[in-house]
Amino acid sequence: MPDPIQGDQAFRRKDLSGRNPEMTFGGALSFLRRNYTKDLTNVDIAVTGIPFDMATSNRPGTRFGPRAIRAGSVGLAELEAYPFGFDPFAYLSVADYGDCFIDYGYPQHAPEQIEQHADQILSSETMMISMGGDHYITYPLLKAHAKKHGPLSLIHFDAHSDTWVDDGERMDHGSMFLRAIREEIIDPTTSIQIGIRTHNTDTYGFTVLGAPWVHREGVPATIDVIREVVAENQAYLTFDIDCLDPAFAPGTGTPVAGGLSSSQALEVVRSLGEFNIVGMDLVEVAPQYDVGEITAIAGATIMHDFICLQAIRAGAPITPFGRV
């Protein structure tokens, strides 16, 4: 039996299944140590970075988010997935597709570049999971997904509604979901926003679960409402890391006190396996404001656990360790 590949799996491993020994403190970085490849033949999930932060309203820096999330994922690639108790890569073929190329000198071209990047991935049967980047990136990603799947329900974790005034042209990470509603990319009547704790005068048809409501009513009640609103509709999951309280995610551009804990957010995300989610993104990680990588690790874990949900759908058995 040949010796396993030791180190630098991102470019040395010959196939996309399983995993090999890797130093958590060294080696080539990729998300969860998956192979870097643009070949999507038989790939179930492509993880890709969207390093764009030219639509921020406060602190910039999320262009460095994909790099930080990849670094934050190294510990998750070491052991069987918790709390699931399996190796997701025994059931799914997952690749790191690299980053969408964005020319900073022509920011006006970025939305089209992001949409075309997504079109290329979605032209196959591959699911796309994106790492931001600021939250504006979700707009061109939704456009690409809606071209393939039709209008979508949105499962939106955030401190902000991102439905403030939009003129149809501005690049703003605080208004793009109003534009998505007007363009009928998403259906607000079957969409939900979770963790909101900034005021807007209009919900625009979204069901809104404010952070105080989630704290008071708990995770099971939150899942019940998501089930009631989203039902069996095709949905897109977008997770702004500032949904978490700054105590758990200081590394973001627009932090707001009173948010969800990492534990609460992970419990909700781990309960989304029954929903027909066709794509996902994790946005607004800005590592220069982070402390001990806790924001990047939280973001990487949310993405990792979403991948585990897809592994369960592909047949992975749940064998938890202890009471979970």
Task: Please write the tens of the pLDDT for every residue from 222-253.
Answer: 999 999 999 999 999 999 999 999 999 999 99
- Residue 56 contacts residue 280 (beta carbons within 8 Å): no
Q: Beta-strand (E) ranges in the chain?
A: 45-50, 94-99, 127-132, 153-157, 192-196, 207-210, 234-240, 276-283
Q: Is the pLDDT of residue 1 over 80?
A: no
Given 3.30.390.50, 3.30.2290.10, 3.40.1130.10, 3.40.800.10, which CATH number is that of 9-313?
A: 3.40.800.10
Closest CA to 152 of 284, 275, 267: 275
Kindly provide the b/e burial profile for residues 12-50, where b requires at least 16 CB atoms within 10 angstroms of the residue's own CB. ebeebeebeebeeeebebbbbbbbebeebeebbbbbbbb
Mean pLDDT within 140-146: 98
Percent of the chain clearing pLDDT 70 (strictly above) = 99
Distance of CA 278 to the CA centre of its chain: 12
Model pLDDT, residue 54: 95
Closest CA to 139 of 152, 126, 121, 123: 152
Mean pLDDT within 139-146: 98
Q: Is the pLDDT of residue 161 over 80?
A: yes
Q: What are the pLDDT digits (tens) for 11-47?
A: 888 888 888 888 899 999 999 999 999 999 999 999 9
Model pLDDT, residue 3: 56
Q: Is the pLDDT of residue 279 over 70?
A: yes
Name which residue leads in pLDDT, 23 or 50: 50
Q: What are the pLDDT digits (tens) for 68-119?
A: 999 999 999 999 999 999 999 999 999 999 999 999 999 999 999 999 999 9
Mean pLDDT within 311-317: 96
Mean pLDDT within 307-323: 94
Average pLDDT over the chain, rounded to whole? 95
Mean pLDDT within 132-149: 98
